[in-house]
Amino acid sequence: MRTQVAIIGAGPSGLLLGQLLHKAGIDNVILERQTGDYVLGRIRAGILEQITVDLLHEAGVGAGVDAGGTVHHSIELVFAGTRHPIDVHGLTGGKVVTAYGQTELTRDLMQARAAAGLTTVYEAANVTPLDFDGHQPRVTYEKDGQTHTLDCDFIAGCDGYHGVSRASVKDSITEYERHYPFGWLGVLADVPPVSPHAIVYGNSERGFSLCSMRSLTRSRYYVQCPLDDKVEDWSDQRFWDELRRRLDPALAEAIVTGPTIEKSIAPLRSFVAEPMRFGRLFLAGDAAHIVPPTGAKGLNLASSDVKYLSSALIEYFRDKSPAAIDTYSERCLRRVWKAERFSWWLTSLLHRFPDTQGFGQKIQEAELDYLVSSVAASTTLAENYVGLPLELR
């Protein structure tokens, strides 16, 4: 089998890349080691920057987010028992973010790909990218007991942190990593969000909290917890009680509780692999970088990688020019490190660290007070939150 672009990974970044390339008339095949149901079952990001929403429309799959997404014009910061709104819409000249679950986004992309008759090979085992340092790359994989070879012009590694793409070039990359000394206990519940048109971030002596949403009837809530906590030690009642303690009284009273339908503890870390291009193999999304979820940058950063990569490949096949391909890694990494900086800063500002005692807590509160009382500081937060502009050249 032959294609122009072999895409490894059928998550949102791989599917979005495939759809953008298809719209430009570039043939592509996606290889995924899991089943389609498994891919759809992953519950992750749900806050989309306008850049990501625009890309979905460019790919012809924007109807879902238009119909089911909820626009957020502001964020709210809770500290010292008081809530402070940040007018993101006003401070950024009208920019917003949109709440739309990754499951729904992935389903939209999968359905569009199926409707277009494009090839996706699920349950592809032992996927191996080969010869990408030359002019005739290929990918081998096993399916139904047989070994197959996919010849191609380029390989896009969209298969996440644990995927084969980054592992194939591990000896050629420099990795930067930071682990945080706490985790997030997150729950999903079919209850209306406490703040339908804003994300609420909480800083308290008990630790960080976050009130987010997936829709107007499904909410996503988090509290900071020790890394050695066990999910089974957190009953629904314990979680709701703890969340309330970390918010202002009015918001705590307004929370609608109910049975949780998903509960998990996730560690937080920052990770970047440099470079992101190796001959005719490109890394995109979590294969190249991980950010703490505090700033809601993971899926959006993957989307910007996809925009850079799809534009570069379109230019190559349309104009026979490798210029954008040659600068892909550099352009991506400039944006990656800015997102890493923002995510690190927001994480440091809102969480309780082991050394955040007395003085450290007061410093956090002083910085938060400055943040909500300074237009310049609030604008910096807002413009990073909605997403910095793409640098296409």
pLDDT of residue 45: 66
- Model confidence at 393, pLDDT cuts 50, 70, 90, reads low
pLDDT of residue 316: 97
Give me the catalytic one of 180, 308, 328, 385. Answer: 385
- Model confidence at 215, pLDDT cuts 50, 70, 90, reads confident
Give me the catalytic one of 72, 89, 289, 351. Answer: 72
Give me the catalytic one of 84, 89, 95, 297. Answer: 297
Residue pair 294/182 in contact by the 8 Å Cβ criterion: no
Residues 6+ apart with CB under 8 A from 393: none
In this structure, the chain runs to a length of 393
pLDDT of residue 40: 85
Tell me the average pLDDT across 225-251: 96
357 pLDDT more than 80? no
Tell me the average pLDDT across 116-139: 96
How far is it, in rounded angstroms, from Cα 219 to Cα 192?
Answer: 6
pLDDT of residue 365: 87
Give me the catalytic one of 180, 201, 222, 308. Answer: 201
Tell me the average pLDDT across 248-277: 96
Question: Is 180 noted as a catalytic residue in this protein?
Answer: no
Question: Is 308 noted as a catalytic residue in this protein?
Answer: no
Residue pair 350/203 in contact by the 8 Å Cβ criterion: yes
Tell me the average pLDDT across 200-209: 94
**Checking DSSP bridges between strand 125-130 and strand 138-143, what pairing results, if any?**
antiparallel
How far is it, in rounded angstroms, from Cα 18 to Cα 41?
Answer: 20
Considering only residues 124 and 391, tell me which one the structure prediction assigns the higher pLDDT: 124
Question: On the CB side of 66, how many CA atoms lie within 13 Å of its CA?
Answer: 8
Tell me the average pLDDT across 153-159: 98
392 pLDDT more than 80? no
pLDDT of residue 327: 96
Tell me the average pLDDT across 241-260: 96
Specify the CATH number for 5-71+97-177+269-349; select among 3.40.50.720, 3.30.420.40, 3.50.50.60, 3.30.465.10: 3.50.50.60
Question: Per-residue DSSP letters for 56-84?
Answer: HHHTT--HHHHHH-EEE-EEEEEETTEEE
pLDDT of residue 149: 98
* Dihedral sign for Cα atoms in the order 117, 118, 122, 125: positive
CB-neighbour burial class of residue 154 (10 A; exposed 0-12, middle 13-18, buried 19+): buried
Question: Is the domain 180-268+353-386 a CATH 3.30.9.10 member?
Answer: yes
- Model confidence at 147, pLDDT cuts 50, 70, 90, reads very high
Tell me the average pLDDT across 362-370: 92
Domain borders along the chain are 5-71+97-177+269-349, 180-268+353-386
52 φ, ψ (degrees, to nearest 5): -70, -45
Question: Is 201 noted as a catalytic residue in this protein?
Answer: yes
How far is it, in rounded angstroms, from Cα 275 to Cα 182?
Answer: 29
DSSP E strands in the chain: the ranges are 5-8, 28-31, 47-49, 70-72, 74-79, 82-86, 97-99, 119-121, 125-130, 138-143, 146-151, 154-157, 174-189, 198-204, 207-213, 219-225, 260-274, 277-278, 281-283, 289-290
Question: On the CB side of 256, how many CA atoms lie within 13 Å of its CA?
Answer: 13
pLDDT of residue 378: 97
pLDDT of residue 214: 83
pLDDT of residue 150: 98
Share of the chain above pLDDT 90, in %: 89
pLDDT digits (tens, 9 = 90+) for 12-66: 999 999 999 999 999 999 999 999 898 888 766 689 999 999 999 999 999 999 9
pLDDT of residue 361: 80
pLDDT of residue 223: 98
Tell me the average pLDDT across 377-389: 95
Q: What is the pTM of this model?
A: 0.94
pLDDT digits (tens, 9 = 90+) for 293-330: 999 999 999 999 999 999 999 999 999 999 999 999 99
